């Protein structure tokens, strides 16, 4: 699975950015830090503009991050994907036929090993590696887990995007608007 050839996934942090991306030719978007009251209208507008929404479940304001909230998201909001560090959220997404994306933070060896164990239990569709500006670790995560990798965080230039894509990442997430049109 890839993102229909889209290599840069805009990470949306504001409703203004969301409105701007609606009229673009970008298909997949990542929604960060949204309020629970905005979810239904975001999905309605996104679907109306043929956008596929990957919701960061851990960053939804006003919604506890547990199995019940992920059931609510899957059954009522129906995003195209859920991003989380939590196994229960990822398992619920998979059970409901929604793309599951595990976030893995490159903090230290213990954090990486713990994330590998989670990936082994859950088998997410993708692993989003943060920060994404470390190509050799992106390649390592891909090899160690056998799961496709998305790179995100601290990527500031087109050359960095090219580097992480060359290391095996399927896509890059970024909130930098100047990088959204790169593919």
Domain residue extents for the chain = 8-179
Q: Helix crossing, 135-145 with 109-122: angle to 10°?
A: 40
Q: What's the pTM?
A: 0.96
In terms of DSSP bridges, do strands 171-174 and 149-152 run parallel, antiparallel, or are they unpaired? parallel
What pLDDT is stored for residue 124 in this prediction? 98
Cα angle value 75/78/83 (rounded, 5°): 105
| Residue-level pLDDT at 67 | 86
DSSP-derived 3-state class of residue 29? strand
Q: Where are the beta strands (DSSP E) in 59-98?
A: 81-84
- Tokens at 11, concatenated: 């990470």
Q: What is the pLDDT of residue 183?
A: 63
pLDDT in tens, the chain (183 residues): 689 999 999 999 999 999 999 999 999 999 999 999 999 999 999 999 999 999 999 999 999 988 899 999 999 999 999 999 999 999 999 999 999 999 999 999 999 999 999 999 999 999 999 999 999 999 999 999 999 999 999 999 999 999 999 999 999 999 999 999 876
Give the HSE-up count for residue 65: Cα atoms under 13 Å, Cβ half-sphere: 16
pLDDT of 2: 85
**Which among 104, 54, 57, 116 is positioned nearest to 80, based on CA atoms?**
54
- Residues 8-179, CATH architecture: Alpha-Beta Barrel (3.20)
- 152 — alpha (psi -120 to 50), left (phi > 0) or beta? beta
Query: What sign does the CA torsion over 92, 95, 101, 102 have?
Result: positive
């Amino acid at each position: 699975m890839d993102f229909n050839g889209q290599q840069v996934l805009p990470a949306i942090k504001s409703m203004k950015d969301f409105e701007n991306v609606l009229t673009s030719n970008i298909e997949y978007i990542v929604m960060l830090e949204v309020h629970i009251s905005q979810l239904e209208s975001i999905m309605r507008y996104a679907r109306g503009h043929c956008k596929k929404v990957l919701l960061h479940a851990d960053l939804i304001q006003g919604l506890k991050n547990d199995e019940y909230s992920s059931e609510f998201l899957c059954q009522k909001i129906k995003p195209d994907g859920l991003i989380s560090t939590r196994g229960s959220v990822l398992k619920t997404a998979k059970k409901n036929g929604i793309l599951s994306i595990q976030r893995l933070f490159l903090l230290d060896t213990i954090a990486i090993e713990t994330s590998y164990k989670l990936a082994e239990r859950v088998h997410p569709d993708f692993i989003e590696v943060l920060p994404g500006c470390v190509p050799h670790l992106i390649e390592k995560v891909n090899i160690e887990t056998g799961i496709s990798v998305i790179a995100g965080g601290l990527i500031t230039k087109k050359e960095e995007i090219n580097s992480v894509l060359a290391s095996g990442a399927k896509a890059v997430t970024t909130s930098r608007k100047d990088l959204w049109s790169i593919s």
